[in-house]
Structure 1
Amino acid sequence: MIKKLLLATALASVAACDAYAAEVLQKFDVAEDHTRFAFADAPVHENGMPAHGNPFVTQGYIYPAGTLQGESSGVNEDGSAVYPELVLGTWTCDGWFVGEGGNTESGVWLISRQVFVFNDGDTVITQGTELADKGVFNARPITGATGDYADQDGVMMQKLLGFNEFMGVNATFELSGDASVVTPQG
């Protein structure tokens, strides 16, 4: 009888762990809040866009995957969230423009650190390059994580969806254990 009780308890614990692990969000979107984007006065291109070497910092909203499909910008003109009831957390990004900076049309345009802070306090931090190409996945190493994400040590795939009507970045992200086994589709 005791063996059956222990076995039942162990099975219930495994099921609870599986359900708990399933709660870790694997995919999500980010909408940049254009009112929180700041870059240095120099260097800049003649058109005012940041040039190679210009540092920046910005923030935005984390939404469920698929929220930013189609015409949705995710951010209102005043910088508030379009869908406040869907906001999963805050995204902060800092780094430097490289290549042709803000005028880059293809390839690497940023070297950055991204910090994803979810509403429950869990965090994921990535560092690496960002592509100016829309619809192309780019692998970013996970350099730190806490809470439910503490065991994440692979890569996060990032895909630029485009720019919202206020020139803020819209992107989608996907956690992956190993960049060598990821074969993302555009």
Structure 2
Amino acid sequence: MLRSLSMTTAAILLGTAALAEPLVRFDVAEDHTRFVFQSAPVDDEGMPTHGNPFVTQGYVYPADTLAPGIDGVNEDGSPAFPELVLGTWTCDGFLVGAAMKAETGVFLVSRQTVVLNEGDILISHGPEIIDENVVQLRAISGATGSFVDHDGDIGQVFLGWGPYMGLRAAFDMEGHGEDS
């Protein structure tokens, strides 16, 4: 009896240890090969302008993976750190204002869907700003799994464009990235 109780206790303890802390901070690296937009409206260089809808995808990484000078996507669109990929990020929306030519402020409005490898989902809506290292709040509009206890907002910090023009961003559901 003592042996089976010990094995049961050990199984419970191991199971409890296996439960990871909920993901509240993460990085996203856009796969530049998956950015698709309508053929119009575009500017003289063929880049989408105000009102152009788009969809894109990328990789979710642990927080602080995308340090300055480190991109999360290879030239062919594959993840630079496949062993660190926590899930996928899908973003759709509309370019607004100066759009891709913006130097400050809002350049698009989007819905972002994060799907972790285990199936947990986080959906947020809101504006995105082109200013680097500035927190922009987005509304959390849906959540499942480990994200379900998070409501309200999530902070997004634009970390700049990668070498292949893929967006790099950090997300924080608690501290909103103030220390970024």
TM-score range, shorter chain: 0.7 to 0.9
Percent identity between the two aligned chains: 53
**CA distance in structure 2 between the aligned counterparts of 1:122 and 1:87, rounded to whole angstroms:** 14
Name structure 1 gaps, 5 residues minimum: 1-11
Answer yes or no: is the 8 Å Cα contact 1:49–1:101 preserved in 2.
no
Q: Which residue of 1 aligns with 2:82?
A: 84
Q: Secondary structure at the match of 2:100?
A: helix
Q: What corresponds to 1:29 in structure 2?
A: 27
What CA RMSD, in Å, does the superposition of the two structures yield over aligned residues?
Answer: 2.1
TM (norm. structure 1) is 0.84
Provide the residue aligned with 2:164 in structure 1.
166
Distance, in Å, in 2 between the alignment partners of 1:32 and 1:82 is 11
Residue 69 in structure 1 maps to residue 63 in structure 2: no
Q: What residue number does 2:56 align with? A: 58
* Cα distance in 1, alignment partners of residues 179 and 81 from structure 2: 27
Residue number in structure 1 paired with 2:8: none
Question: Secondary structure of 2:173's match?
Answer: strand
Match status 1:96 vs 2:94: yes
The Cα shift of 1:70 comes to: 2.2
Deviation at 1:182, TM superposition (A): 5.6
Amino acid at match of 1:131: I
Corresponding residue number in structure 2 for 1:109 = 107
| 1:39-85 Cα shifts (integer Å, max 9, x gaps) | 11110111222110000000000001111102211101111001000
Please give the secondary structure, in 2, of the residue aligned with 1:72.
Answer: coil
Residue 184 of structure 1 and its aligned partner are, at CA, apart by 2.2
Give distance in 1, aligned partners of 2:146 and 2:176: 22
Report the counterpart of residue 129 of structure 2 in structure 1: 131
The CA deviation string for residues 129-172 of structure 1, in whole angstroms up to 9 with x for no partner, is: 00011110100010000011112112110000011110000000
SS at match of 1:28: strand
In structure 1, what is the equivalent of residue 147 of structure 2? 149
Equivalent residue of 1:102, what SS? helix
Quick one: distance in 2 between partners of 1:130 and 1:56? 14
> Aligned pair in 2 of structure 1 residues 38, 183: CA closer, same or farther (>3 Å)?
closer
1:120 matched to 2:114? The reply is: no
Q: Which runs of 4+ in 1 moved over 6 A?
A: none
- Could you state the TM-score of these two structures normalised by the residue count of structure 2? 0.87
| Distance in 2 separating the partners of 1:66 and 1:134 | 15
| Structure 2 unaligned residues grouped into runs of 5+ | 1-11
Equivalent in the alignment of 2:5: none
